[in-house]
Amino acid sequence: MKYKVKESSKKLPDRRTFIQTLGSSCVLLLVPKFLFARENKKGAAWTYSNGYAPSEHYYGMGIDISKCIGCGRCANACKLENDVPREPFFFRTWVERYRIFEDGEVAIDSPNGAADGFKPGSAPEKNLVRNFFVPKICNQCDKPPCVQVCPVGATFKTPDGVVLVDSQYCIGCRYCIQACPYGARYLHPEKRVADKCTFCYHRIVKEKLPACVEVCPTQARIFGELEKKASPLVRFMRMNKISVLKPSLNTEPKVYYANFDMEVR
Amino acid sequence: MKWKRIPQQLQRLIILAAIFAVLFLIVRSFLIPVDFGKYGHYRASAVEEIIAQGMHYAGQEACYDCHEDVFETKRGGFHQNVSCEVCHGPAFTHAETTDTAELEAPTGRGYCPVCHEYLPSRPTGFPQIVSASHNPMKPCITCHEPHDPEPPQAPAECTACHAEIARTKSLSHHVYVPCMRCHETPEEHKINPRKVLPGKPKTREFCGGCHAQDAPADKGIPRIDMASHNVRYVCWQCHYPHLPEAR
């Protein structure tokens, strides 16, 4: 039986042409990089109007649960410093009370975000096994889901690792509020834009502490540089066993807890 | 490919698409701020707007400049790390313009209990009171100097700070065992609760004083064989002495 060899309609290029085309297309791949060259995105040369260079800093916060007395001065100071609405449900930082009873039941409460402190109340019927306060705040994630979902680029991470909201650019679509696994964002009832903890960015660029850290009477909150050797936060992380909230979500939070209980969510 | 070889209807479409593309680019350049995307997918000038926010809290260092005497009182005391603005309120305007904005400090009984009212969730050893029974008519500052607080009298009973343990113990068979029988407590512990800590029984024989087979104690007390009953542990490593009924 004879086979009819079908001639290809197009001839394959010889080796020389192939290598030439390959080389030139590789060079062409680099063209957009030169055409659309932008300034350094990391902001290495960025200096704010007050002379502060964000790329030289990298901030985080440490929270020692065993030191928190639940006085709520942090939540109160935050509202005063940042003009957060006084009515309930709007918080940049708040304190939760965890009560773990003998039968394994866990009661979590935070009356008015602890801005007025906790009231003693009546003694519970069941025996308490463990009970403690957990201050909560925006975790200033290194991989922030809120930034990822913002459709207009109104929320962003600065070179010093703080996640901020551009209130002029925010359209109030609430995607970021949905995306935050820590419930750290809220919609400002008057401005109708998303709002969140900024680590008191207007203070820290002037070398002051965030308001909640300033007023904490027991030093349960520690604010500082993460990538410098001489920093109270680095010492805190060296001296304590450190946990973060929801590590499985890979958001890489920069709020570090010491003496963290399994039940804390 | 030559332009004329393209079918006419496609030529028109291409021209239309080009016009739309140019229009889009023109409109886009008007809508998007100049500094958007300079350092990332955001408006770089937003940072300047955020840091322009006014401050309310001046920070402890600002108080030091004028009120050095108060700092001398505070130094070394229990309140040395309590920032002035915790009690005196936000002081930024006061620090900038000293005369116009006078600060106040809470003088009644309402404010100190925010930190010092007894709550079971507060860390053990943190000084707490039950304000309803703690001199209910007196303002705190009549006895305690807030800049260097020390209890004028040491608490008479352990329950003043360890109410949670006292309540548990009151329901247990150890209700009549006084705290000090097991916890050797230096008098200094009442003044300096977290620096001087009370002791715990160190040996099995301590509990054996009542619970050994041959102990000279009441007949109703449960007995164990000290030689065979989990010799490797001190009793309180398994039994919670404040509620020993747990099995």
pLDDT in tens, A126-177: 878 888 999 999 999 999 999 999 999 999 999 999 999 999 999 999 999 9
Look up residue B46 and give its two tokens.
């937003």
Is residue A39's pLDDT more than 60?
Answer: no
- Which one of B45, B78, B114 would you mutate to disrupt binding with A, by most A Cβ within 10 Å of its Cβ? B114
Is residue B232's pLDDT more than 60?
Answer: yes
Q: B114 vs A214: CB contact, 8 Å cut-off?
A: no
pLDDT of residue A167: 94
Residue recorded with tokens 């990538």: A227
Give the pairing of strands A255-258 and A242-243: antiparallel
- A15-36 per-residue burial string, b: 16 or more CB within 10 A, e: under 16: eeeeeeeeeeeeeeeeeeeeee
Confidence class for position A1, pLDDT limits 50, 70, 90: low
Mean pLDDT of B152-159: 80
A131 contacts in chain B (CB < 8 Å): 120-121
Q: A127 vs B243: CB contact, 8 Å cut-off?
A: yes
pLDDT digits (tens, 9 = 90+) for B21-55: 999 999 999 998 988 888 889 999 999 999 999 99
Q: Distance between CA B126 and CA B242 in Å, rounded?
A: 20
Q: Distance between CA A230 and CA A131 in Å, rounded?
A: 33
- For residue B76, give the amino acid letter: G
What is the interface pTM, i.e. ipTM, of the complex? 0.81
Phi-psi category of residue B230: left, alpha or beta, with phi > 0 → left and psi -120 to 50 → alpha: left
pLDDT of residue A41: 61
Q: B51 vs A117: CB contact, 8 Å cut-off?
A: no
- Which one of B32, B34, B42, B147 would you mutate to disrupt binding with A, by most A Cβ within 10 Å of its Cβ? B42
Q: Distance between CA A26 and CA A78 in Å, rounded?
A: 54
From the list B39, B55, B81, which residue is nearest A46 (CB)? B39
* Chain B contact present for A47, CB below 8 A: no
Contacts across the A-B interface (CB distance below 8 Å): 140
Q: A217 vs B114: CB contact, 8 Å cut-off?
A: no
Task: Quickly count: other Cβ atoms within 10 Å of residue B124's Cβ.
Answer: 13
* Chain B contact present for A37, CB below 8 A: no
- A126-135 per-residue burial string, b: 16 or more CB within 10 A, e: under 16: eebeebbbbb
Min Cα separation A217/chain B (Å): 4
Strand partners, A59: A225
- Which one of A82, A156, A209 would you mutate to disrupt binding with B, by most B Cβ within 10 Å of its Cβ? A156
Confidence class for position B17, pLDDT limits 50, 70, 90: very high
Q: A153 vs B115: CB contact, 8 Å cut-off?
A: no
pLDDT digits (tens, 9 = 90+) for B118-144: 898 898 878 888 888 888 999 999 989
Q: B118 vs A120: CB contact, 8 Å cut-off?
A: yes
Q: Which residues contact A211 (CB under 8 A, 6 or more apart)?
A: A74, A77, A78, A80, A81, A82, A200, A203, B56, B57
Does residue A165 sit in helix, strand or coil? Answer: strand
Q: Which residues contact A227 (CB under 8 A, 6 or more apart)?
A: A58
pLDDT of residue A6: 57
From the list A49, A131, A209, which residue is nearest B120 (CB)? A131
The dihedral built from the CA positions of residue A253, A232, A212 and B91, taken in this order, carries a sign that is negative
Q: A69 vs B123: CB contact, 8 Å cut-off?
A: yes
Name the A residues in 151-180 with CB < 8 Å from any B CB.
153-159, 164, 166-169
